[in-house]
Chain A
């Protein structure tokens, strides 16, 4: 008799990065349990080493090459997945570095903190491979639920509570709306595997209005995750109220995970429906850039300024999605747009994590997030002031710092598309680059020109872990600017595998 259940053959090498992360999670819990108070510092070391250890299988998979498909195509390890897993793990490592002293000095729960941080990262590495509606949903929740808790880590701080509540309510609402959209897409196509949905939607059902509603709901759901205007309202409040390392983590890794899911859904499952999503992304991109930048102009708190700047940066990353369908095949087609988004994500991660690391270093002395407290930073902490200027001008896209190449690939893919809508979006993006320079430069002016507000010019003590993360981000930001081929190569190979 034929058995109903056949166990799937599992390629453990393909799963190795996630398996290592799960093992590290277990070790973290164990260390926290056994060593209690006196060994709490060890948890950050374990988390950092564990993240580096889980990079090893990512590298061996890259060396081994070839695309691996598991569970009937629901979980795919291709070059796209590997590049983004690498990005998530490195961004997670930098987050652990900038968290180490902050969490140790702040009387927080160290073991649980790193446990949740790594759980969220596990969700992100799964997201990079998820090619099925169910696995995308599970990965999204696995990366979001720990993040809701981390945002409210300062339990007795009312701002921390508010950050967590706003993030949670809007996040859960968005994923519920997204699920409703997914249920409609599943209903029409009869499959949850993205490539099968893509085949079904490329055919005759393109006129079914239900599919349009489904796609719009799914895109709106992820619009919250990447904080696209008008779904960005949680971002500034959550970023301000959350612990600063978590803010850095959310604005880089969590946003990248949202873009990864969008790229997979749009370019694999919804590819044949570009008349639905292309105009939607055009409006989202233009609004996100413009509104983010205009509100950033009048911020007085550096974290809120960076929050709105990260909203605006998301607009630049959405732009290639808006025109992807009209890029001609000889210029790369959707591969061109994928490359632009991935390259942008990689460079943005380096600059933004660096900027937050400087904010944390300065806050150790000034205990303030107000931009006014950056007055005269160059006088008593020239190194930090120069680094901050490097990161801010990189974010503004001034050559030769990393950001120019990120902006360049976006403009290149807009102009490769060449349609009227694409050129109009390029003009909007160009105007926004100028607006952004204004507020980035005004922080730099404070640091170099203004006097120290309280006259206190004692030096800033920067602990070793924070120094290491600053150095990592600074080297990456400058290297990406001078040798854009580094980022371009990663963006270039980060393409979806051609799997059945």
Chain B
């Protein structure tokens, strides 16, 4: 099996995600970028697991399931925090959240 394509896809998604986290100013888009990184992880886990034979494939898929589940919980909390910020300041621009410095 050609695993390269999957790994390249994973690496590209990871890079787009990291770029999004660093460059985006909108809180919701940053959350989406983090999701991209987590999906890159899932692709990696399933593809690399398939390389390891039957037991490795199961391990990789179980790991990916855990990542999906916990990512859902994480994004739930993240959206709650972004919503709170929106309620208090009527904006989700992360650059404006800079009361504390130094």
Contact = CB atoms under 8 A, between A and B. Distances in A.
A binds B: yes
Interface residues of B, number: 45
B63 A134 contact: yes
A164 interface: yes
A158 B48 contact: no
B40 A186 contact: no
Contacts of B77: 145, 148-149, 168
Given A158-B88, A164-B81, A176-B34, A186 B73 contact: no
Interface stretch (A34-42, A86-94, A233-241, A265-273): A233-241
B81 A173 contact: no
A169 B77 CA distance: 11
Interface string A137-170: 1100100010011001001101101111110110
B97 A177 contact: no
Contacts of B30: 169
Contacts of A169: 21, 30, 34, 78, 94
A190 B52 contact: yes
Given A145-B73, A176-B41, A168 B14 contact: no
Contacts of B18: 177
Nearest to B75: A172
B63 A145 contact: no
Interface in A174-193: 176-177, 179-180, 182-184, 186-187, 190-192
A165 B82 contact: yes
Interface in B61-95: 62-63, 66-67, 70, 73-74, 77-78, 80-82, 84-85, 88-89, 94
Interface in B5-57: 10, 14, 17-18, 21, 27, 30, 34, 37-38, 40-41, 44-45, 47-49, 51-52, 56
Contacts of A137: 63, 66-67, 70
Main secondary structure of the interface of B (DSSP, over half): helix
User: Which interface residue of A155, A158, A304 has the most chain B CB atoms within 10 A?
Assistant: A158
A257 B37 CA distance: 24
B85 A180 contact: no
Interface size class on chain A is 35 or more
Nearest to B78: A168
A184 B67 CA distance: 15
Given A184-B44, A186-B48, A161 B85 contact: yes
Nearest to A167: B81
B34 to A, nearest CB: 5
A161 B84 contact: yes
B97 A180 contact: no
B99 interface: yes
Contacts of A236: 100, 102
A362 interface: no
B55 to A, nearest CB: 8
B100 A141 contact: no
A155 B48 CA distance: 43
A133 interface: yes
Interface in A97-121: none
B67 A179 contact: yes
Nearest to A188: B48
Nearest to A185: B48
Contacts of B78: 148, 168-169, 172
Contact of A186 (B14, B63, B74): B63
B51 A148 contact: no
A237 B101 CA distance: 7
A299 interface: yes
A187 B51 contact: yes
Given A137-B66, A165-B94, A183 B44 contact: yes
Nearest to A133: B63
User: Which interface residue of A176, A240, A299 has the most chain B CB atoms within 10 A?
Assistant: A176
A152 B84 contact: yes
Interface of B: 10, 14, 17-18, 21, 27, 30, 34, 37-38, 40-41, 44-45, 47-49, 51-52, 56, 59-60, 62-63, 66-67, 70, 73-74, 77-78, 80-82, 84-85, 88-89, 94, 97-102
22 contacts: A134-B63, A145-B73, A148-B78, A149-B77, A159-B100, A162-B99, A163-B100, A165-B94, A172-B34, A176-B37, A177-B18, A180-B41, A183-B44, A184-B48, A186-B63, A187-B45, A187-B49, A190-B52, A190-B56, A191-B56, A237-B101, A299-B102
Give the 9 A-B CB pairs with smallest separation, nearest first.
A187-B48, A183-B44, A190-B52, A176-B37, A237-B100, A179-B41, A141-B70, A183-B45, A190-B56
